[in-house]
Amino acid sequence: MKPLTRFLLGTIALAALAPLSAQEQAQTGLPRTHLTAGFHQIEVQIASTPPQQATGLMHRTEMPQYEGMLFVFPEPKQQCFWMKNTLIPLTAAFVADDGTVVNLEDMQPQTTQSHCSAKPVRFVLEVNQGWFAKKGLKAGTRLAGPPFRPAN
């Protein structure tokens, strides 16, 4: 075997054994807060910067049923999400400033289909798919917690 071929094969073998790069690892050290929907509770990680939001829940193989991720954007606009590199099925709740769920979208793993808010919002809550349905929660439900402003 030629030295260059041996080198390339060795490099490929090492790359296959290497852990995921920093960009391909699930992010777990984000700030957290507690939200409620009536008497239902959920602990959420907060993704508030563009890099945190770009990674979101990618590369996770599981998430506890009582957890989720809250995406916080600087101003209300139509938010659209997809599931590239996301391994678990999720439901996205598009949420108004006062905590009212505008619409819910079930999203399938590893797809690039867009799921968008029905109107401009600043918040998107991703939870395990079925969390809202199992609790009988739907559009119009009011979430409460530190990020949301009371209705005027």
* pLDDT (tens digit per residue) in 125-136: 999 999 999 999
- Residue 105 DSSP class: E
HSE-up of residue 71 (Cα within 13 Å, Cβ side): 26
pTM score: 0.82
Domain edges within the chain: 26-134
What six digits make up the tokens of 85? 């590199």
Phi, psi (degrees; rounded to nearest 5) at 123: -125, 140
CA nearest to 144, candidates 70, 36, 68, 67: 36
Average pLDDT taken over every residue of the chain: 87
The C-alpha atoms of residue 7 and residue 90 are separated, in whole angstroms, by 42
Domain 26-134 sits in which CATH superfamily?
Protein of unknown function DUF192 (2.60.120.1140)
Residue-wise pLDDT for 40-97, tens only, equals 999 999 999 999 999 999 999 999 999 999 999 999 999 999 999 999 999 999 999 9
Spatial contact of 35 and 62, defined as CB atoms under 8 Å apart: no
* pLDDT confidence band for 151 (50 / 70 / 90): low
